[in-house]
Amino acid sequence: MDKFSLAFKKFPLLVLISLSTGIALALSIPPFGFWILAPLSGAVLYWELSRLRASAKAMAGFVCGIGLFVPGLWWAHSFNNAGYVVLVFAQSCFIAVGCLLAATNSRRMKDHRRHTLLWRMAAFPSALTLAEVARQSWPFGGIPLGSVVLGQAVSPLARTARLDGTFVVCYLLWFFGAVIAELVIFPFGAQQPWRHVKAGVTGGLILILVVISAMFAPNGGPAVRYIKVAAVQGGGKRGLDMEEVNPYAVYDAQLGATEQLVPKSIGLILWPEDVVALFGPMRDSFRIRQLSGLAKFMQATLVAGVTIPVGKRRFMNEAVAWAPSGKLIGTFEKVHRVPFGEYIPYRGFFQHFANLSRVPRNAVPGHGPGLLNTPAGKLDVTISYETFFPNRARAGVLVGGEVIVVPTNDSSYITSQVPSQEIAASSLQAISTGRNLVQAAPTGFSAFINNHGQVLARSALGVRAVLVHDVGLRDGVTFYDRFGKLPIVLFCLVCLLLSWYAFIIGFSRHPRRT
């Protein structure tokens, strides 16, 4: 049987294994949340890649990506079917490249040596973590939704985010899979199974040591003081576009929910993103004057999401703060806009391929950290989509942010997929930065999350709700706050280069027989 016939015969099995692995990874992500499936799937993928040539590795990774992103990015199909298909294809290519770069082929490496096995174990998570870094950076600023990391927000690996952000969690997730494979899968049928077991045990001890170290790592320090915060959720129907929503009804729902609060009992009132739609400049708006009066009546700092038109084709998406005196004391304009949701990149090009009427205006991008210095405290503001990007909250912490506030709006999504992934992202943000976090959404989920990533309170979807909780303000920093993602990226690059060096040396000394 020639090589082509042999490869064709094995292709259905490769597709079946890779697709099943990707689907299991998707089930580890919210709203499903079976987090243990991620490292188990990683073990199967690690084993599968060790049996394949380079081209087949890329194919296995791509098919795995299809299994992951078809359900993981299902929310996107409600906006545009063609865009959904392109998005799934593009995101799967990142997984394909990561699998291609993972030097895990034991037949071309000196896998009879334990230290070489450890390099192989380091290469696999390094390649896939770098692929995730690239995926969350490009194109259009990155698409972090559907990431396998989101499923680990409730796992023992979550607290390692304070060491160097979510990419450390990503690395350890795949490394966990490699450990499982070396301990459970590879020993079967191996000539020297005990060498795989020794490598797996060594890797497992390293994993346990890192997780335990994270428990004692700086976590933002003790609270310097506490404030009582209200997250106000007006409620309403979900699954509607911005153009289908009555802005007056949304605003009135927020006012109605806020009336449940007792004046002078709250330090900070947080309203969601874009629940205050203006039709002209702020200085001429009756609603702005009304909100100023509301803050004065409640004797509380009020933060609300406001949209302001800029001509006919653009708008600003801002978080606006009022002091208890009623004075407008600060604004922050959203920096990380949602591509094809809040703006259309290269609109002139894409309008030839899709109906863009659902996004008639482009949001104006903001700049700088989202810090609002208020009487309630120094608020680190990350608006909606920005909570998926750890560097946004970190930027606010570095300039003095004491608590993270997330005004968001997921009302255009019918299912709980995006809201539940956003809660997971917010939990990881809280751990990474060592800050408590408050999130408010017009139709859910609104939530309180502490600096350990624990969800202390969460609303239901679609209902009117007012969550009130005492929130600690902190001024300490984590390792991630100090150093950002650079250390884990450099570590992955070094591991990948050294593993390829071991691969090339092993191949030159022990060429594969034909």
Residue with the larger pLDDT of the pair 142 and 499: 142
Is 3 domain-assigned? no
**Residue 39 included in any domain:** yes
Taking the C-alpha atoms of residue 26 and residue 430, their distance in angstroms, rounded to an integer, is: 23
Residues 175 and 308 in one domain: no
Are residues 430 and 504 part of one domain? no
Give me the mean pLDDT over the 279-283 stretch: 89
* For residues 70-96, average pLDDT: 89
CB 35, CB 28: distance < 8 Å: yes
Q: Is the pLDDT of residue 86 over 60?
A: yes
Residue 160 lies in a domain: yes
Q: Which two tokens stand for residue 464?
A: 């009117």
Is residue 391 domain-shared with residue 417, that is, in the same domain?
Answer: yes
The β-bridge partners of 339 are: 343
* Phi, psi (degrees; rounded to nearest 5) at 101: -80, -15
pLDDT at 120: 82
Shared domain for 42 and 67, answered yes or no, is: yes
Residue 509: pLDDT above 80?
Answer: no
Say if residue 195's pLDDT is above 90. Answer: no
In a domain, 329, yes or no: yes
What span, in angstroms and rounded, lies between the C-alpha atoms of 223 and 406? Answer: 19
Q: What are phi and psi of 413, to 5 degrees?
A: -95, 130
> pLDDT at position 9, please?
59
Cβ neighbours for 344, distance < 8 A, ≥ 6 positions apart: 350, 351, 356, 359, 362
**Residue 371, token pair as written in the block:** 């810090």
Same domain, 71 and 203: yes
Please check whether residues 373 and 502 belong to one and the same domain.
no
Least confident of 43-57, 325-339, 367-381: 43-57
Task: Give tens-digit pLDDT for 161-194.
Answer: 999 999 999 999 999 999 999 999 988 877 778 8
Query: Reduced to 3 states, what is the DSSP secondary structure of residue 333?
Result: strand
Mode of pairing for the β-strands spanning 362-363 and 328-333? unpaired
Lowest mean pLDDT among 42-46, 257-261, 289-293, 350-354: 350-354
Residue 2 in any domain: the answer is: no
The neighbouring-strand residues paired with 319 are: 305, 332
pLDDT at position 103 is 67
Residue 1's pLDDT is what?
Answer: 46
pLDDT digits (tens, 9 = 90+) for 298-349: 999 999 999 999 998 999 999 999 999 999 999 999 999 988 888 888 888 8
Identify whether 10 is part of a domain.
no
> Which of 235, 232, 270 has the alpha carbon at shortest distance from 250?
235
Residue 433 pLDDT exceeds 50:
yes
pLDDT of 10 higher than 90:
no
Measure the CA–CA gap between 183 and 179, rounded to whole angstroms: 6
What's residue 344's pLDDT?
84
Same domain for 205 and 240? no
**pLDDT value of position 284:** 80
Q: What's the mean pLDDT when you consider all of the chain?
A: 91
Whether residue 342 is found in the same domain as residue 458:
yes
Tokens 């020297």 label which residue? 192
Report the CATH number at residue 377.
3.60.110.10
pLDDT in tens, 375-432: 999 999 999 999 999 899 999 999 999 999 999 999 989 999 999 999 999 999 999 9
Q: Mind giving me the DSSP string for 171-192? A: HHHHHHHHHHIIIIITTTT-SS
Same-domain pairing of 158 and 263: no
Residue 356 has pLDDT above 80, yes or no: no
Is the confidence at residue 134, as pLDDT, over 80? yes
Range of the structural domain that residue 142 is part of: 21-218+484-509
Q: What is the CA radius of gyration of the chain?
A: 25
**pLDDT reported for residue 208:** 96
Question: How far apart, in whole angstroms, are the C-alpha atoms of residue 510 and residue 514?
Answer: 12
Q: How far apart are CA 181 and CA 395, in angstroms?
A: 38
H or E segment and range at residue 268: strand 268-270
Q: What is the mean pLDDT of residues 355-372?
A: 88
Question: What is the total count of domains within the chain?
Answer: 2
- pLDDT tens digit sequence for 196-250: 898 899 999 999 999 999 999 999 999 999 999 999 999 999 988 777 889 999 9
| Contacts made by residues 344-353, CB under 8 angstroms, sequence distance 24+ | 345/140, 353/82
Asked whether residue 467 falls in the same domain as residue 384, the answer is yes
From CA 250, how far away is CA 232, in angstroms rounded? 12
User: Is 72 within 8 Å of 29 (Cβ atoms)?
Assistant: yes
For residue 332, being part of any structural domain is answered with yes
- Looking at residue 104, what is its pLDDT? 61
pLDDT for 112 equals 44
- Is 107 a residue whose pLDDT tops 80? no
Is 322 in the same domain as 188?
no
The strand ranges marked E within 66-215 are none
Which residues neighbour 69 within 8 Å (Cβ) at sequence distance 6 or greater? 22, 26, 87, 88, 91, 92, 146
Residues 210 and 230 in one domain: no
Please check the confidence at residue 5 and state whether its pLDDT lies above 60: no
pLDDT tens column, 439-491: 999 998 999 999 999 999 999 999 999 999 999 999 999 999 999 999 999 99
pTM for the whole structure: 0.93
Contact present, 141 and 167 (Cβ < 8 Å): no
Evaluate whether residue 447 is within a structural domain: yes
Separation of first and last alpha carbons in the chain: 14
